[in-house]
Amino acid sequence: MPSPSRRSKWSLAVTGVLLASGALTPVAAQAQPADRWVVSGPSLTATVALDQTTGTLSLGATRNGRAVLAPAPVGLRTTGADLSRGLRFVSRADRTVSEQYAMTTGKRRNRTVSGTEARLAFATAAGARVDLVVRVAPDGVAYRYVVPGPVTVTGEASAFTVPTGASAWLLPYNAWYEANRVQTTAGGAAAGDYGNPSLFQSGEDFVLLSESDVDGRYPGSKLRHTAGSGTYQVVLADEQVTATGELRTPWRTAVIGDLATVTASTLVDDLAPPSKISDTSWVKPGKVAWSWLSENSSPGNFERQKAYVDFAARNGWPYVLVDEGWSASWVPELVRYARAKGVDILLWLHWSNLDTAAERDTTLPRIRDWGVKGVKLDFMESDSRERYQWYDAVLAKTAELHLMVNFHGSTIPHGLARTWPHVMSMEAVRGAENQPPAANNPVQAFTRNVVGSMDYTPVSLDVGPKEASVAHEVALPVVYESGWTHFADKPEAYEARPQALRFLDQVPTVWDETRLVGGHPSSGATIARRAGTRWFLGAIASGDARTLSAPLSFLGSGDWLVEVVRDTTSSARGDVVRDSSVRRSTDVLSVAVPRNGGFAAVICPAQTGRTTCDEPVKQVPTTSLAITPAQELDAARGTSFEVTGSFTATGSSALTDVVLTTTAPAGWTVTGLPVRRGMLAPGETMTGRWTVRVGDSSPSGYTDVPVYAEFNGERVHVEKAVRVFVPPDVPSGTPYVSDLQFIGEENGWGPVERDRSNNENTGGDGNPLRVGGVAYAKGLGVHATSEVSVYTGRRCSRFTAGIGLDDETTETGSVVFQVVGDGRVLFDSGAVRAKGAARAISVDTTGVRMLALRVTDAGDGKNFDHADWTEARVTCA
């Protein structure tokens, strides 16, 4: 709780105490006019005024006596009452806010919240009530509404007014927040809608407008501007929002202060609800190797993803993100390969893959069971309440399953990472994948990144427009904060620049402290961040070559070893160089940078004999694991089989706390105990043996029985799996393939559709199958690249179908149809490049155990490759 001397700086009138989370401190009552209420802090003051003639409310704010927000309307409109006019004052209750909380990500791990809050109650002549809650914090002002329910809101009168001549950095609105920011003035900005957060500067005062505590109770908002005006009106994404109980709206938020205060602000997080997760030990931020931007097709290539895993392991990066194009047929094996090297796998998903409870309850547990540690969810592209309810549902389910999350194609952070600490990052920025100009980079540090982790995907060296220098790119993981930092380029680009890679191997992704050292939204940003005893400095500039200066006053007393990473004058895209010197906090670091240049630095306490601030890159000891049976095994329900595992420390390091065991799938049983060793010396082997029984009601299809070893304090996980096939009933007669169980299913866009066309990405959204103008009641609708497999048990002698491109696409795709029996191609259509009548095929499948129907993209990409297997059926004994 604040000391009395601290509390005396926060002056409030009080008629009661409002109960809420955090420490509560009553504040002495003061007389104030009946139509004007003041909420004050040490430097900021918010004033709410009631126009006695119209009954309208306004709110303004000052900083050190200077007006930064002119009085602007506040209030709500509902279907039952207009709560923006005709109001009268009812009561006021005040409290002092004092909280502490910890974050898993962000610019500062440990947070302290202080502020003053007033709840002003107003009512109409008919008795309809609205409470206005106003909070003043050291770094800004915020307000929200509380309305008794049930209620349907049709809009807000909420607005912010800044001086018309104020400089402005605005984001033309779209629901995925990926436009370039526009530098203009508050009054000179074009009429239209702008996205949060929006930054304004008037003299020495900066104001960043945004919102906080937005979830499925309410839609998001944007800022609507009329040309020539300094007022920015809050406009909701939905025309109406209904609450059955009391409604607490999101906070309308203004971060206010000098540029350093705005940059370091945690106000958006401070206003958000506390964490809903009590145990966050499984939440692990970190660096991520990512292939999609530099090699768009590589997420579909198992061997290439293994190369990214190897690169991450060599450099101590804990994650590899496998983006769009991965296959369920090999991801489990990639996960096992990666975990043995101390690397975990993250997977990309389109949001619509999880848009129903049933999909969330099947897809997410399945990838969790593979050993995947997190997901990148993409293309939400909406601020509607319905989409925010989807966020709520996904966050609850991923938290339950201990899956971390990155939201891409998303809204902006609204304090989400405080409430749900497994949110590692969000996009909502024109990041590297959209090839932004270098001039767009500095402003992001003072706008978008202020409100939360930003998935910009930095450090583009060989990919992208190459406008920024290499040192500028290398500095971005310090200038930009993100709990997961997805590096944009491929291993070869980084390994060709070993000094750049050396710095990237050292830079953290979570910080204990953040300081603005210098810069301005229009020209550059220099930011210092501390992790433990080391400081990291990142400086970027836009425009002509010049010298960047960084005062080292953020350092403590004593001598500090400063290692500067900078561009050379000999090569625009070559490696950086590293310079070392011993400095003190009174020094100023000056570095000459080229056009759109920058520099980075790592700084640590100088000690006798210390020559670098680098810490050792963590390497996982090499091991080997052999299992039996090593080949795929058929096992009927109720039968048993034996599994063995032999684990060897093949490297030069001894392993400690080693456990070798297996795990039974749900409904199966394992007989035999884990094998344990306190230490396994180099060259030693330990062996375990277990009996596994298939469950009596086990579903048919493939199941992995993992055998794994874990060791050392960080529980390195080395795993292989016995592949078990539980056969379904063998088909009889002439069944349609769409009526059989799919043993395997891959599809290039959304799921395979039974008896419908592929259409879009959501399951069940297909149209009637139609090829060459003829509709078919039965068949499969797929999208290249696709493969569906069914079990025929060597009892089906023929497969028949019609093949062709579905009529539903506006343009014609190109595909190849293949029928595959036990891995052998039995039929190949050649390239089908035109729409038209379905082509009848009949394929001999005598002796085939597993039949697969495959569609490829004919080698020219998968756009418009909607393919149909019409009337597809098998003839069986």
List residues with catalytic annotation.
378, 433
**3-class state of residue 579 by DSSP:** strand
| Cα distance between the two ends of the chain | 80
Q: Enter the tokens of residue 486.
A: 């997805």
- Do 344 and 305 touch, CB atoms closer than 8 A? no
Q: Report in angstroms the alpha-carbon separations of 685 from 658, 673, 690.
A: 11, 17, 17
Per-residue tokens: 662: 């297996």
Taking the C-alpha atoms of residue 691 and residue 670, their distance in angstroms, rounded to an integer, is 6
Contacts of 400 (CB under 8 A, 6+ apart): none
Three-state secondary-structure class, residue 503 = helix
Q: What are phi and psi of 477, to 5 degrees?
A: -65, -10
State the Cα–Cα distance between residues 762 and 209, nearest whole angstrom.
36
What are the structure tokens assigned to 510, written together? 């979570």
Q: What is the CA radius of gyration of the chain?
A: 31
Instruction: Specify burial of residue 147 (Cβ count, 10 A radius: 0-12, 13-18, 19+).
Output: buried
Instruction: Report yes or no: 621 and 655 within 8 Å, Cβ to Cβ.
Output: yes
How far is Cα 199 from Cα 263, in angstroms, rounded to an integer? 11
User: What is the C-alpha separation between 673 and 771, in angstroms, rounded?
Assistant: 58
Residue with tokens 């990155």: 406
SS (H, E, C) 727-753: CCCCCCECCEHHHCCCCEEECCCCCCE
Distance of CA 367 to the CA centre of its chain: 17
Q: Residue 132: how many CA atoms within 13 Å on its side-chain side?
A: 33
Pairing mode of beta strands 633-634, 716-726: parallel
HSE-up of 707 (CA within 13 Å, CB side)?
28
d(CA 571, CA 582): 27
CA atoms within 13 A on the CB side of 334: 29
> Buried (b) or exposed (e) across 233-248, using 16+ Cβ within 10 A?
bbbbbbeebebeeebb
Q: Which residues pair with 693 in a beta bridge?
A: 640, 669
Q: How far apart are CA 521 and CA 440, in angstroms?
A: 9
Is residue 453 helix, strand or coil? coil
* Whole-Å CA distances, 385 to 223, 238, 421, 422: 17, 7, 22, 22
Is 472 in contact with 332 (CB distance < 8 Å)?
Answer: no
Q: Any idea what the Cα angle at residue 822 is, between residues 816 and 823, rounded to 5°?
A: 50
Identify each DSSP E strand in 756-865 by its residue range.
769-771, 774-776, 779-783, 786-791, 796-805, 815-821, 824-832, 839-844, 850-856
Return d(Cα 769, Cα 776) in angstroms, integer.
Answer: 5
Burial degree of 50 (CB within 10 A; 0-12, 13-18, 19+)? buried
Residue 334 CA to residue 302 CA, distance in Å, equals 7
Pick from 736, 744, 742: nearest CA to 776: 736
Segment (H or E) for 429: none
Sheet holding 319-322, edge to edge: 423-426, 404-407, 374-378, 344-350, 319-322, 286-290, 484-487
